[in-house]
Structure 1
């Protein structure tokens, strides 16, 4: 049987060339779309990873640091401390902390109390007359409350309604020991005291100390 051979015409060759070009263009478009989707997905994942990393770092570093604790007695005839201040500041790298949602646990080893913020016992730097143990800063505090004295607040983030502490801020938390430990009328000598200041999120500021063996003639004592 003889072999049948078809001769391609010039028009047929042109049709094949156009078809191949259409297929090639379609492949390029599909590849381009796929690459665009991959790039967008990678960018979203990178942004999400950075956000998650920042949140994790913030959660780990957020918290309060107790820098000092001082006690006071009214005169040298008193055998107990009637007022106390706890100086705090945010930890390095900490997110902002709302002191309205913060509580203090305090114990004299015989009694344990939980104190919450009293919005009426907030005092700004302009309210300080040089005496941080002024009776007016403490007399309004009950057995379950603490107040705030602002020492440093460059950005104005602290107010009575929104006492938010952030980088660079320093405050004193005020406690009326006569009210809290009414059974012993404050803190007596040689008393083991411990406690913590727990923010809504982050690590607490923890402290422990023993009151002096004797109060001598001093009226103010550095306890921590």
Structure 2
């Protein structure tokens, strides 16, 4: 008996489908590679920006000046002939715990008596007024710079008292603070001198121990009794420091007055 053998032929189209799949796969790999390169580049940029932002944010919250006290000094000729207003403010300033170093050369002090406002920069800062304070000395003779603050006038900008302040170091363990480069670190303590001499003070010969017989420069401020005073210290980076107080109702015969806190 002869067996029935049937041969069946089928058309195979799988090869064509495989080529299309391969093309799509290669295209997907290329797209994925491009996307990966973009993501890597973007993540690198974002990381750098995040680090820079974090550093700036840390500096902003950690660079804080602290006004520990403010003393007022009245000009005088003798123990009984004393000016009727405050002629000089002495700001006792330090840094908060954990603060970053602060360059006093970049600090701006705004002071107002409710009528006049002075924006002051450090005496060795020539970037704001194109000149440094007249008669400013780069040595550590802070007393001579204070005398120049109180008495010297130049054109421009005018009386030193209206545009500048000076600083004297009280505590500086690492010797980071000089008149040329007044850098404050944690633990440092300085006195910032702000002239508040009025036009009528020109005839007084002394402010503290400073000889002002050459004539006191007019600051434009008048700090009489019961005067509200606002002082704002703005560093290059970090939070501003504000001190507000009202002067006593009478100065009496006192030459030095504790005004803040």
TM over 0.5: yes
Which deviates more, 50-59 or 214-223? 50-59
Checking the alignment, whether the CA contact within 8 Å between 2:63 and 2:238 is kept in structure 1 is yes
Provide structure 1 residue ranges, at least 5 long, that are not aligned to the other structure: 1-44
Q: How big is the shift at 1:50?
A: 8.6
Q: Does 1:209 find its partner at 2:209?
A: no
Which deviates more, 71-80 or 60-69? 71-80
- Over residues 188-213 of structure 1, what are the superposed CA-to-partner deviations in whole Å (9 max), with x where a residue is unaligned? 11100002010000011210111111
Q: How big is the shift at 1:139?
A: 3.1
Structure 1 residues 138 and 170: CA distance shift in structure 2, 3 A: farther
TM-score, structure 2 length as denominator? 0.58
CA RMSD of aligned residues (A): 2.9
CA separation in 1, counterparts of 2:137 and 2:243?
A: 23
Q: How big is the shift at 1:61?
A: 1.8
Q: Choose the corresponding residue for 2:151, options 123, 139, 143.
A: 139
Provide structure 2 residue ranges, at least 5 long, that are not aligned to the other structure: 1-46, 125-135, 153-159, 198-216
Counterpart in the other structure of 2:224: 188
Counterpart in the other structure of 2:110: 105
Structure 1 residues 170 and 137: CA distance shift in structure 2, 3 A: farther
- Over residues 98-131 of structure 1, what are the superposed CA-to-partner deviations in whole Å (9 max), with x where a residue is unaligned? 111111000000111100110226774xx578xx
Q: Does 1:148 find its partner at 2:148?
A: no
Structure 1 residues 65 and 123: CA distance shift in structure 2, 3 A: farther
CA separation in 1, counterparts of 2:104 and 2:252?
A: 35
Q: How big is the shift at 1:187?
A: 1.3
Counterpart in the other structure of 1:70: 71
Counterpart in the other structure of 1:176: 195
Matches within 5 A, 1:14-33: none
Q: How big is the shift at 1:142?
A: 2.8
Structure 1 residues 104 and 49: CA distance shift in structure 2, 3 A: closer
CA separation in 2, counterparts of 1:165 and 1:115?
A: 18
Aligned positions, number = 173
Larger strand percent: 1
